[in-house]
Structure 1
Amino acid sequence: MESYLRKLWTQCFRYNWKLGVFLILLFGIPRFIIVLESYVSRSYGLVMIVFLCMWFAPFVFLTKHGRKGIGIKRPSQWWKPFVSFIFGGLSCFLIFGLLYFLYDTSIENAFVYIGGNNPTSGITGEDKLIYFWIAAIPSMIFSPIGEEFLYRGVIHGSFVSEFGETKASVFDSLAFALTHIAHFGIIYTFGVWKFLPIPSVLWVVSMFFVSQVFFKCKLFSDSIWGAVAAHSGFNFVMMYCIFYLL
């Protein structure tokens, strides 16, 4: 049986849940700190670098056979990633609708807080459309590829052999959801850090839900690109909601 893990790493790890936990901490802790800092500095440059590092995780840790095993391959049918993109977008609309219903445009709404890091919120007309695409395009590329390669790819695969596909998706979804507390839950406003217990729980549950959507889209497409497309659709709609619905 061909190995999933590169020979370099087999001296320290087996491709199992222990490696998965190691990768969750290796990427999650620095990402958490860097995202929190970005809300103070209002700069996402370092966050983009973290996502780029996630892009390379399957190539650093896994063999060609391993990368194919976690889903880095062509979708079973070309149109399935497009359907996945739509499902990802719809899941974002559902979450936006719930949070808007509960919190309107207050800071307890995750979309409001995340959108507050965008200094172009007061711009209108054609300029607003330009800034929308400037924000939307990177958000549809960097985090969808990076996070799906890592969470629905390498980390998910590390749990599969012992726990199976369904339970493995619970572990990678929990890791994905909890790290998003850095994006919303612990907030920086008026020069002070605050923790919002109930809104943060809703946000974590929402991120767990969309993680499951991304996982289902991966299965639907028989490829990690289904999850990437769904994630890209989610981020596209999130940018639309922030720019045009708030």
Structure 2
Amino acid sequence: MMPPVPVPTIPHFKKFVGHRLRLDAKTGGWLLAVFSVIRFALVLQANVTRSYQVVALVFVAMILLPFLLLTRAGRRQIGLVWPARWWSVLLGGVVGVVSCAGLFYLASLCFGLTESNPLVYISRTYKVPTVLTADTRRLFFLIYAGTSMVFSPIGEELFYRGLVHECFRASLGNARATLLDSAAFAVVHLAHFGLVYSGSGWHFLLGPSLLWVAGLFISCLLFSLARAWSGSILGAMTAHALFNVTMSYFIFYHIL
């Protein structure tokens, strides 16, 4: 009897890293550790300086990572394919709007428009004039909404719902990997709100930060659903982008 012919494994990483990296939990852990530490430190610094140009480089690195490290098969594995159902991409956008609106109204109900409200605190880190006319308000909204639709949704979704998710899915299964990448995303955003900076120094807001992290965690689960519905990472990107645009809307038309 002839021995079975081994089925060749599909290379997910390019040759120069292929013998070192695999889509497994070890690789996912290292990626999370490196990017989380760097991002957390840079965001905390940006909260003091009110300058996020360096933080944007982290998102650029997240965008480039799959193209630098992965083969074409690897990029397809993390969801870089055309959507199978375009209507699901639009549905993902609706989910993003609703999840952000729900988070804002719940935070406003609990904490009002104070700095215990995550969107209020984040708005204080924006570099905008103290007094906004109708024209300047529209201009700054378009600037912030436009940039928030590009850098973080593309970079973070390729990283969390794409590369990191597939690393952990291979070891833990889809459901546990979804919980893990959503939790990692939510916790790293404590640098944006939760650990806050004021004139008297740094403070940790326990109750507000729990609401913030829980809201982001649920939103991430919805982003994952948007990816599953569409069969593409583009579904998650669209949901995330519309979440960010909605956040910019509340900041410029309800807070500032």
Fold match, TM over 0.5?
yes
CA offset digits 1:164-223 (Å, max 9, x no partner) = 111110111111011000000000011411111111111111111111010000001100
Aligned residue among 73, 79, 84 for 1:65: 73
Aligned to 1:117: 125
| Other structure's SS at 1:141 match | helix
**1:188 partner letter:** Y
Q: Distance in 1 between matches of 2:225 and 2:23?
A: 23
The answer to whether structure 1 residue 29 and structure 2 residue 74 are counterparts is no
| Other structure's SS at 2:193 match | coil
Which protein is bigger by CA-based radius of gyration?
Answer: 2
Aligned to 1:129: 138
Aligned to 1:3: 11
Q: Distance in 2 between matches of 1:44 and 1:30?
A: 13
Q: Distance in 1 between matches of 2:21 and 2:81?
A: 25
Shift in Å, 1:2: 1.0
Shift in Å, 1:58: 1.1
Aligned to 1:96: 104
**1:224 partner letter:** I
| Other structure's SS at 2:175 match | helix
Q: Distance in 1 between matches of 2:25 and 2:187?
A: 18
**2:98 partner letter:** L
Q: Distance in 2 between matches of 1:40 and 1:115?
A: 13
Shift in Å, 1:44: 0.6
TM-score, structure 2 as length reference: 0.93
Aligned to 1:214: 223
Aligned to 2:5: none
Comparing 164-173 and 146-155, the one that deviates more: 164-173
Shift in Å, 1:63: 1.1
Shift in Å, 1:83: 1.9
CA offset digits 1:66-86 (Å, max 9, x no partner) = 110110010112332222111
Q: How many residues align?
A: 246
Aligned to 2:248: 239
* Structure 1 spans left out of the alignment, 5+ residues: none
Calculate percent identity across the aligned residue pairs.
Answer: 38
Shift in Å, 1:139: 0.4
CA offset digits 1:218-243 (Å, max 9, x no partner) = 00110000000000000000000111
CA offset digits 1:79-138 (Å, max 9, x no partner) = 322221111011000000100000001111000000111232630211110110011100
Q: Distance in 2 between matches of 1:172 and 1:61?
A: 20
Shift in Å, 1:6: 2.1
| Other structure's SS at 1:194 match | strand
| Other structure's SS at 2:173 match | helix
**2:157 partner letter:** E
**1:161 partner letter:** A
**2:183 partner letter:** L
Runs of 4+ in 1 over 6 A off after TM superposition: none
**1:44 partner letter:** Y
Q: Please list, as runs of the form range in 1=range in 2, the aligned pairs for 1:188-203 lying within 5 A after superposition.
A: 188-203=197-212
**2:163 partner letter:** V
Q: Distance in 2 between matches of 1:33 and 1:78?
A: 38
Aligned to 2:169: 160
The answer to whether structure 1 residue 177 and structure 2 residue 186 are counterparts is yes
Q: Distance in 1 between matches of 2:200 and 2:32?
A: 30
Comparing 194-203 and 6-15, the one that deviates more: 6-15
**1:166 partner letter:** A
TM-score, structure 1 as length reference: 0.97
Aligned to 1:13: 21
Aligned to 1:49: 57
Q: Distance in 1 between matches of 2:162 and 2:131?
A: 38
Comparing 74-83 and 169-178, the one that deviates more: 74-83
**1:124 partner letter:** T
**1:101 partner letter:** L
**2:243 partner letter:** F
Q: Distance in 2 between matches of 1:60 and 1:203?
A: 33
* Structure 2 spans left out of the alignment, 5+ residues: 1-8
CA RMSD of superposed structures (Å)? 1.1
